[in-house]
Amino acid sequence: MADNHGNTPAAWTAVVIGLAAFVVGGVGLMAGSMLTFWIGVALLPVAIIVMKVMDAMGLGDPASH
């Protein structure tokens, strides 16, 4: 395992977006707003895409290339 495993800008950005997605989805479920819930669900793939793009830009773990 690399010394900076998970400690890269790409990883942290994906975690923050993913956490926001779960919070938005959870708030939507609690409030009974299915639109808000689905917005949260739609944010999850965004986190993965952003992480992959940032990784390709060199902001990820260099050992994974």
Name which residue leads in pLDDT, 6 or 57.
Answer: 57
Query: HEC string of the chain?
Result: CCCCCCCCHHHHHHHHHHHHHHHHHHHHHHHCCHHHHHHHHHHHHHHHHHHHHHHHHHHCCHHHC
Domain assignment present for residue 53? The answer is yes
What's the number of CA atoms in the CB half-sphere (13 Å) around residue 52? 5
Count of structural domains within the chain: 1
What's the number of CA atoms in the CB half-sphere (13 Å) around residue 40? 17
Domain assignment present for residue 64? The answer is no
Domain assignment present for residue 32? The answer is yes
Mean pLDDT of 6-31: 94
Domain assignment present for residue 65? The answer is no
Mean pLDDT of 15-44: 96
- The end-to-end CA distance of the chain, in Å, is 13
Share of the chain above pLDDT 70, in %: 86
Per-residue pLDDT reduced to its tens digit, 36-62: 999 999 999 999 999 999 999 988 877
Domain assignment present for residue 1? The answer is no
Domain assignment present for residue 38? The answer is yes
Domain assignment present for residue 35? The answer is yes
Domain assignment present for residue 25? The answer is yes
pTM for this structure?
A: 0.83
Name the residue range of residue 35's domain: 9-58
